[in-house]
Amino acid sequence: MVTSAVPASGTTPLPVLVSKSDIKPTWCPGCGDFGVVAALEMALKRLKIPPHETVLVSGIGCSSNLPHFLNTYGFHGIHGRAIPVAEGIRWANHGLHVVVTGGDGDGFGIGAGHFVHAMRRNVKITYVAMDNQIYGLTTGQASPTSTMGAKTKSTPTGVIEHPINPIGLAIASGATYVARGFSGDVKQMADLIAGALQHNGFAFVDAFSPCVTYNKLNTFDWFRQRVYKLESAGHDPSDIGQAFVRAQEWGDKLPTGLFYKTDRPTYEDLEEVLQAGPVVRQPAGMVGKESILDEFL
Amino acid sequence: MAEISVRTGGAAGDGIASVGDVLAKSLSRMGLHVFGLNAYQSVIRGGHVWFQARASADPIHSQGDQADVLFALNKETAQIHLPSMSAGSTVVYDPEKFELTDSELPVGTKKLAVPTLEIARKYSSQSILQNAAGLGATAYLAGIPLAGLQKTLLDSFGRKKGEIADWNVGAAGEGYAFAEKNSGANDHAVKPTGEPKLLMTGNQAIALGAAAAGCKFLAQYPMTPASTILHWLAAHSQQLGIVVKQAEDEIAVVNMAIGASFAGVRSMCATSGGGFSLMVEGLGMAGMTETPLVVVEAQRSGPSTGLPTKTEQGDLNLMLGAGQGDFPRAILAPADAGEAFRTTVKAFQLAEDWQTPVIVASDFHLSECMMTVERDEIPFPGPIPSLFTVEPNGGDYKRYAYTESGVSPRALPGQPGLQFKAGSDEHDERGHLISDVLSGVPIWVAERTKMMDKRMRKLEGLRTAGPQPTLEGPTDAPLTFVAWGSTVGAIRDATGVLRGKGVSTNLLRIPQVFPLATTALVPLLTQAKRTLLVEANFTGQLGRLIRAETGVDLPNRFLKYDGEPFTPTEIVQRALEVVSHGH
């Protein structure tokens, strides 16, 4: 039975840094997700995180194709369930850098429950949500972050539900690094993702990533006219009260940057079994532990 | 006597399960074979719950039918259980709690009025101590030595020993002495037969099997009757180095387990039918991404929430059909605790060897009943090899390479130079998607077919790699029982009863219900003179599967869906019907 990989002859030199894979992104020309994958690549490179120690995990949606476009390990799972897959990976091998990428439907709609619970656990995962306020891959239905009144294929007379506030939800749920970027500003996005990767805890980056095909309301220009940087407004990211207030800003002014950052032990810090090192490297089975049977006598 | 059944009953919250546990363990410590049934309801207080501990010098496989000693904590218990009392049996009760007139007793059943409350009051105002007094009297009638009873009782308090434990031991001693003095002739008592035997529930056996098989990650959401797998592994998590995670729902559970397995550890999740229904999409993802996964499905009475604390084998169709599209899976169905251990070990091996999900199909009866197990029935596997043994460096790696067996070389995150993407979308040998810009293009249409064929070749491998069907008993018997899972236990006991009546039967049991090992199964089915399909569901789900896969119809059926486990007596009756009437 073949269970382990065997090296092929004629090996090529290992890439030391994360780079693009040989798969070309399938996104529409001009899609906001190009800026996000570029920022993620820059951040991983800058921190010299090796591609074989990086796992990109995603669900389903346009943005969930992202893992294929970098030369790392990846798990492209089912809709809305990227976060629990990522948690399982972390708890099996917490030596790995685990990054979840996906969209607003995937993360805040079908996957909202997992999002909230991962944050209260403070699992060390970087979660980059490419938020375009629309379902793109399914050709333009309303999403959990669609603006009130937005007319979409599923809401022809306009959305009548209040949108989710991902930043406020993240702060309230116990995320310990909460930021927002805009794919029109790749440098800032790369800085925020690099900060997330270095953060010991659940790091959430809400990425404004416009859909150029199905969202004619929240366009690149729409965002460009509204975004401002929190650091230039004197925001103190250690102040949870201020962070909540900034999280409520929506309309003519949209803050980007680091909303909130704090230190709290991660799930991995507190799970006793992980203190002996990554579980995948620990001995398995019950050899030498037969005395456990005594409790059944 | 060589065999005894001790029953105790009352309301939920009365401590029936604790009394039952001590009785069962005291009997297994006498070297007897024990089968313990904990019959409870989905309430925390009130209602009617009961426990039966059956013990014998010879192997037994079910809870049996009768009670030889009944300890009734309330009148309702007496009313419900008196009809199943054996000849020469005794009812233990306290007249301070309720009256029991002689006319209420079946012919041949005696009553023993034990002042359990009076004894309890000597120690404490806590009336729960009456249980200990009644337990003492019951244990005397069962033939349990006093020292053995008191040691087991004390052990049941674990580290919480102290005043309360001492009171219990004292009250039990007084109840024991009272029965010794007042019960008169007692011909049901059993005698010690040897060294203590291991006593465990099916779920404990599954948890132990998982640990022995090298499971390093369990994710679970509480659901009866699977929860005690979570409880046992959580209690032993640090000792065994197993990460145990109670997740937010079963969708998270299955995805976490798949993530952990993808990262290289043996992973398991456990649930009942409702939770399994939530895992369905994840199960297909394990099949598509070729990630090993063990899922325990402890069935309970459905449909929907059904009877949460009652047994059934009604989820076979669900397990067979769980997930969109075709992907390889195996479904294993152990019959008793020892086999539950070995089956779980086997499930991990099959999942890893064939890189696909393997379901261990238990049911309430197996999961929650306690059974004695011989040490050699639960062999521990040797050291579990790490999957990191080969760390190749670069090259043209194909995670989903086409192979004859369908199994492709597996790399783990962390191994340099082998980075790949596992995808729930259809993909090529390297894991690249063929679902978006390539699907429908002629060469990729062919590629899709090749990839499906590769995965499904594993199903053919699993057909013979898993546990094969067996025929127990004389090959020329005029009647062949066909069964799966815990139902096998009552049939084994019934077979013995039938033999005593001069009726020869055998048992065709199917430990791997999917994929069926048709090459081995068909001759066994066609050589049977007459068959009787025994299943705990409405439609005869195994029978339907057998007909679909082999063309063999099993027209004689004994199907039960009342939530109660099969009893040997009802199987005997149905078998005699088929033998004498032909159907």
Q: Please state the domain extents for chain A.
A: 33-271
> Residue A10: pLDDT band by 50, 70, 90 thresholds?
very low
> Does residue B487 sit within a domain?
yes
CA distance A16 to chain B (A): 10
Residue carrying the six token digits 């596992």: B422
What's the rounded mean pLDDT across residues B205-222? 98
Considering chain B, what is the average pLDDT of its residues? 95
> Residue B128: pLDDT band by 50, 70, 90 thresholds?
confident
What's the rounded mean pLDDT across residues B328-357? 98
Show the 3-state SS of B378-419: CCCCCCCCCHHHCCCCCCCCCCCCCCCCCCCCCCCCCCCCCC
Of B377, B412, B435, the residue at which a domain comes to its end is: B377
Assigned token pair, B460: 């053919």
> Does residue B428 sit within a domain?
no
Residue B476 burial (10 A CB sphere; 0-12, 13-18, 19+): exposed
**In Å, what is the CA distance from A29 to each residue of A19, A22, A206, A213, B438?**
20, 18, 22, 9, 18
pLDDT of residue B394: 53
In chain B, how many domains are there? 3
CATH number at residue B14: 3.40.920.10
Q: Residues with Cβ < 8 Å from A3, sequence gap 6 or more?
A: B352, B353, B355, B387, B407, B409, B410
Residue carrying the six token digits 């060589």: B2
> Does residue B220 sit within a domain?
yes
Out of A5, A60, A67, closest to residue B415 by CB? A5
Percent of chain B with pLDDT strictly greater than 90:
89
DSSP B470: E
* A284:B266 CB<8 A: yes
pLDDT tens digits, one per residue of A52-65: 999 999 999 999 99
> Does residue B61 sit within a domain?
yes
pLDDT of residue B186: 76
Residues in chain B: 583
Give the residue from chain A lying closest to B238, CA to CA: A273
> Does residue B417 sit within a domain?
no
Full residue range of the structural domain in which residue B525 is found: 470-581
CA-based R_g, chain B, Å? 26
Out of B253, B380, B383, closest to residue A290 by CB? B380
Assigned token pair, B273: 């039918």
CA dist., res. B559 & res. B541, Å (int):
10
Q: Are residues B161 and B281 both part of a single domain? A: no
Residues facing residue A181 across a β-bridge = A207
Q: Are residues B244 and B342 both part of a single domain? A: yes
> Does residue B192 sit within a domain?
yes
**Could you give the angle at the alpha carbon of B498 between the alpha carbons of B493 and B501, nearest 5°?**
140
Whether the upstream peptide bond of residue B303 has omega within 30° of 0, thus cis, is: yes
Write the ipTM: 0.96
**pTM, entire model:** 0.96
pLDDT tens digits, one per residue of A147-202: 999 999 999 999 999 999 999 999 999 999 999 999 999 999 999 999 999 999 99
Q: Are strands B3-12 and B33-39 parallel, antiparallel or unpaired?
A: unpaired
Which residue would you say has higher pLDDT here, B403 or B160?
Answer: B403
> Does residue B134 sit within a domain?
yes
CA distance B338 to chain A (A): 13
Residues in chain A: 297
Q: Are residues B16 and B160 both part of a single domain? A: yes
Q: Are residues B192 and B222 both part of a single domain? A: no
pLDDT tens digits, one per residue of B38-83: 998 888 888 899 999 999 999 999 999 999 999 999 999 999 999 9
Residues facing residue B6 across a β-bridge = B53, B69
pLDDT of residue B395: 64
List chain A residues with CB under 8 Å of B202: none
Residues facing residue B9 across a β-bridge = B50, B72
* A23:B407 CB<8 A: no
Q: Are residues B177 and B298 both part of a single domain? A: no
CA dist., res. B509 & res. B513, Å (int):
9
Res B571 pLDDT > 50: yes
pLDDT of residue B388: 76
pLDDT tens digits, one per residue of B351-402: 999 999 999 999 999 999 999 999 999 999 998 888 876 555 456 899 999 9
pLDDT of residue B385: 85
CA dist., res. B489 & res. B203, Å (int):
16
Interface test with B, best of A4, A72, A87 (most B CBs within 10 A): A4
pLDDT tens digits, one per residue of B535-547: 999 999 999 999 9
Of B361, B377, B393, the residue at which a domain comes to its end is: B377
End-to-end CA distance of chain A: 38
pLDDT of residue B84: 94
Least Cα distance to A98 among A212, A259, A268 occurs for A268
Which residue would you say has higher pLDDT here, A15 or B560?
Answer: B560
The answer to whether B117 and B132 have CB atoms below 8 angstroms apart is: no
pLDDT tens digits, one per residue of B81-122: 999 999 999 999 999 999 999 999 999 999 999 999 999 999
Q: Are residues B257 and B162 both part of a single domain? A: no
Assigned token pair, A156: 């022809």
Of B173, B196, B219, the residue at which a domain comes to its end is: B196
Residue carrying the six token digits 């998607």: B433
Strand order in the sheet with B266-271: B243-246, B215-220, B266-271, B293-299, B357-363, B330-332, B512-514
CATH number at residue B266: 3.40.50.970
- Indicate the class that CATH gives domain A33-271: alpha beta
Res B325 pLDDT > 90: yes
Q: Are residues B256 and B181 both part of a single domain? A: no
> Does residue B165 sit within a domain?
yes
pLDDT tens digits, one per residue of B313-324: 999 999 999 999
pLDDT of residue A12: 54
The answer to whether B369 and B336 have CB atoms below 8 angstroms apart is: no
